[in-house]
Homo-oligomer: A and B are copies of this chain.
Amino acid sequence: MTEFDLIHRLTLNLPTNESVVIGAGDDCAVLDVGAGEQLLLLKTDAVVEGIHFTGETAPEKIGRKALARCLSDIAAMAGTPTAALVTIGLPRKFDVAFVEKIYAGLNALARQYGVAIVGGETTTNPERMLISISLIGFVPRGKVLLRSGAKAGDAIFVTGELGGALAGRHLDFEPRLAEARWLAANFSVHALMDLSDGLAGDLRHILKASGVGAELLKRAIPVSRAAKQIAKRGDAAKPAVVAALTDGEDFELLFTVASRLAVPLLDGWKKEFPKLRLSCIGKIIAGEGLRLRDGTGIRPLNAHGYVHFS
């Protein structure tokens, strides 16, 4: 059973009430809490020692990453983050200065984005450190962007460059908060999410939620310098473009708009965010499935995002 199968089973028939706009299944939960034109966003995300960071990771970067991942999920709803709680699971013996540095990294990023840290708790997790962030934010009613709105004919866009994030960028990425809000304010974006598990796998969430398929153009995939460098090594596990399709932790935005908006969007983006690449990487098609087109033809991408190149 995969993680997604387990989550599917656990999220059947969850308790609900009249405040719920969007429950489990999108980047954040969305609640109508009577805050005028604003809807509440709610998200939780954990990083675990040995999985999301190592014993060698600088503590400031651990704290930064823990919060940045949650901020990226608020961006994925085109929202604005407000306040967070920090849960930290500590081994029985720990270095107080190390924990303070985790908080220093987390607090610095919170200040950068105007997020209040309003408490949390410490608990014991004997074998390894664990940091879980609970974050709330808000999004104007009518501007929330879900995974479920992609339509056949849409152009598919991705920000930044993909692949090889574990070489360093997973600790330093900027959540695309301003970019997502600009998109929601200026264009009729049909579907939006952030990339955490890899482009090919994450795009499938949009396709499934929207009931459509997609065709990606291989030469349009923006491959990061890190992915290219890793692919040049003798022991490289996969070509750079496969890394861009399947590596996790990019935390870029993936979204779709009607194809007639593709050119005005690219023009507007260049003026607004001249330093951040925006790539049109393919199109949404009727039916289902995810396919990759290159110079020789079209081939399917499999369920885990991996391409079996012959």
Stretch from A116-124, A156-164, A204-212 that touches the partner: A116-124
A251 sits at the interface (CB 8 A): no
Neighbour of A15 across the interface among B6, B23, B100, B116, CB < 8 A: B116
Choose from B6, B45, B120 the contact partner of A24 (Cβ within 8 Å). Answer: B120
* Chain-B contact segment, one of A35-43, A183-191, A262-270, A298-306: A35-43
- How many copies of this kind of chain does the complex include? 2
Contacts of A99 in B (CB 8 A): 6, 10
Q: Assess whether A296 is interfacial by the CB under 8 Å rule.
A: no
CB-CB contacts of A207-242 with B at 8 A, as 1s and 0s? 000000000000000000000000000000000000
Which of A42, A89, A96, A126 has the most C-beta atoms of chain B within 10 angstroms of its own C-beta?
A: A42
B residues less than 8 Å from A261 (CB atoms):
none
A130 at the interface (CB under 8 A from B): yes
Residue among A3, A25, A31, A44 having the largest count of chain B Cβ atoms under 10 Å: A44
Of A79-87, A142-150, A168-176, which stretch is located at the interface?
Answer: A79-87
Asked if B33 and A33 make an inter-chain contact with CB atoms under 8 angstroms apart, the answer reads yes
Q: Complex formed: what's the CA distance from A29 to B118 in Å?
A: 6
A111 at the interface (CB under 8 A from B): yes
A134 interface residue, CB < 8 Å from B?
Answer: yes
Which residue of the partner chain, among B36, B85, B96, contacts A1 with CB atoms under 8 Å?
Answer: B96
Chain A window 78-110, contacts with chain B (Cβ cutoff 8 Å), 1 for yes, 0 for no = 000011010101000000100110010001001
* Residue in B38, B44, B115, B119 whose beta carbon sits within 8 Å of that of A11 in the complex: B119
List A residues at the B interface (Cβ < 8 Å): 1, 3, 6-7, 9-11, 13-17, 19-20, 22-25, 28-29, 31, 33-36, 38, 40, 42-46, 48, 50-51, 82-83, 85, 87, 89, 96, 99-100, 103, 107, 110-111, 114-128, 130, 132, 134, 136, 138
**Can you spell out 28 A-B residue pairs with CB atoms less than 8 angstroms apart?**
A10-B99, A13-B107, A14-B117, A15-B111, A17-B115, A19-B83, A23-B118, A24-B118, A24-B120, A31-B83, A31-B116, A33-B33, A34-B36, A40-B40, A42-B85, A42-B119, A44-B85, A45-B121, A48-B124, A48-B125, A51-B123, A51-B124, A85-B134, A125-B128, A126-B128, A127-B127, A127-B128, A130-B130
Please give 4 more A-B residue pairs, beta carbons under 8 A apart, in addition to A24-B119, A29-B118, A50-B126.
A10-B122, A44-B85, A46-B132, A125-B125
Q: Closest 6 interchain pairs by CB?
A: A29-B118, A24-B119, A134-B134, A15-B110, A14-B117, A127-B127
